[in-house]
Homo-oligomer: A and B are copies of this chain.
Amino acid sequence: NEPHLRNTDKMTKNSANLRVRLPALIFALEVMIIVLYAVFVTYDDHTNALLQTNMTKPMENAVYQDYPFFADIQMMIFIGFGCLLSFFQRYGFGGMVFNFLTATFAIQWAILIQGFFHFYYDGKIHLGVINLINAEFACAVVLISFGAVLGKTSPVQLLVSLFEILFEYLKINDAGGSILIHVFACYFGLGVTFILYRPSLNDGHSKECTSYQSDMLSVLGTLFLWVFWPSFNCALTLRGDDQHRAILHTFIGLSASTLTAFALSAMLNKNGKLSMADVQNVTLAGGVTVGASVDMMITPAAAYALGMLGCTACMLGYKYLSPFLARRLRVQDQCGIHNLHGLTGLISTVAAIYPQLAELQELIPGLKAGLGRTAKEQALYQLAALGSTIALAAVGGMLTGLLLKLPYLASPSDEFCFDDELFFNVPADYNQAPVAQDLGCTETQDKHVLGNERSTEI
């Protein structure tokens, strides 16, 4: 135990010590935020008391339409993601707490950046709960990307990486469609992890496994995401029947992917047993796959089929694609975001092209005659938007990765990846529990690891 402690001390006394770096960065960011708030941010029509008149009906304030969705997405971001990312045996603090820190700053940052893009007039950003919802979507992008480098980055790096939000607003909004946030987040994260490649992790890491309690907490996080995903998918769709359909389709898609995930997990894992990693991740695929067409009249059966399809792609991705990416392409995708958000996002976007066209045709009957050509053009346009999103995200991610390699950002050494002791004062029982390698974790257990074959002994 002694030499181990000495190593941590050495580590924290040098490159990974947060004492100066983290406060310096945070205070600098906070000063920037508060100055921008003071100079540029004011209330919008629904929060400005001076714009309310005798005729204003308080109950018609937008807050009553927006706040319930805001609260639901808050649950997903802080509780759902927080628990889900706590699946490592010795990185529970890091998973939950760095998620908390990153999300909090991401939302503040997004309020300002999207404010300039979308809520800026008369020289001011105008603020209401609707801005917070939009900022939460930007934050979700960040947290998805975070999954690619979980356990391998310091809080300083995480805060620096929030440049992502700038790239995001450069790109996503010209293409429209909330599904692109999954695709963007995924390829951005992959770009970062490509640059931060750590060869030694491809041979496994003694702390890169779960414990009984961490698996329980992580699946609890999945359930929170599952329960509130309909709110996420409908929050920015049109009010009324559009939002109603978005809820239905999301629920049906998630249900289909959940059932499929259990089937595939038993089928593809060794001994015919279920894997908690599958239950934690693959069950959610349907929520992404229905995303691009979630408010359209696609029929419930199509939502169901999309859920099954997305789940299957996600599962096969975890099983075959992720190990390949890690070993051959230097892409160590820690949580498998390429499976849960990338593949499913691609499927969703492509699958939405036809119903989008049909709906367009419905709305503008004049299109009917020339639909053949228009449809092809429109489809190509959609695919081009998808391609350019991927390209920008990957390039942005790689640039950000380069930035994160700068010295002084407290990057953990390979040895201290997935280890709470590096950045936290840990309780006395932390070093009492046997570490995975003593227990033969690398042999008997499913891993969220990408360089290792994940339960491939079929």
Contacts and interface: CB of A to CB of B under 8 A. Distances in A.
Contacts of A61: 239-241, 243-244
Interface in A225-261: 226-228, 230-231, 238-245, 247-248, 251-252, 255-256, 258-260
A431 to B, nearest CB: 8
A417 interface: no
Interface residues of A, number: 140
A445 B305 CA distance: 48
Nearest to A217: B216
Contacts of A314: none
Contact of A425 (B128, B248, B434, B446): B446
Interface stretch (A43-51, A194-202, A327-335, A367-375): A43-51
Given A52-B240, A300-B127, A209 B58 contact: no
Contacts of A440: 428
B241 A49 contact: yes
Contact of A47 (B58, B71, B209, B248): B248
Interface stretch (A265-273, A341-349, A398-406): A265-273
Contacts of A65: 59
Contacts of A12: 271-273
Most chain B CB neighbours (cut-off 10 Å) among A30, A38, A62, A243: A30
Contacts of A426: 212, 445
A433 interface: yes
Contacts of A57: 240
Interface string A23-60: 10011011001100110011100111111100011110
Contact of A27 (B48, B263, B269): B263
Interface string A415-448: 0000000111111111011101001110011100
A17 B424 CA distance: 39
A287 to B, nearest CB: 13
A78 interface: yes
Contacts of A441: 427-428
Nearest to A228: B71
B224 A263 contact: no
A428 B439 contact: yes
B129 A244 contact: yes
B52 A241 contact: yes
B209 A428 contact: yes
A388 interface: no
A93 interface: yes
A169 interface: no
Contacts of A173: none
Interface string A296-323: 0101110011001000000000000000
Contact of A104 (B105, B231, B255, B425): B255
A45 to B, nearest CB: 9
A392 interface: no
A38 B299 contact: yes
A138 interface: no
Which of A219, A227, A230 has the largest number of chain B CB atoms within 10 A?
A: A227
Interface stretch (A95-103, A142-150, A175-183): A95-103
A161 to B, nearest CB: 16
Contact of A243 (B13, B63, B92): B63
A396 interface: no
Given A13-B271, A30-B308, A89-B429, A58 B238 contact: yes
Contacts of A242: 49
20 contacts: A18-B266, A19-B267, A30-B304, A34-B308, A46-B244, A56-B240, A56-B241, A63-B244, A67-B247, A78-B226, A100-B279, A108-B252, A108-B255, A127-B300, A129-B248, A212-B429, A212-B433, A213-B213, A213-B216, A425-B444
**10 smallest A-B Cβ distances: which pairs?**
A58-B240, A19-B272, A428-B439, A26-B263, A38-B301, A63-B244, A37-B301, A58-B239, A18-B266, A23-B263
Given A37-B304, A41-B299, A75-B227, 4 more contacts: A17-B271, A34-B301, A82-B223, A100-B258
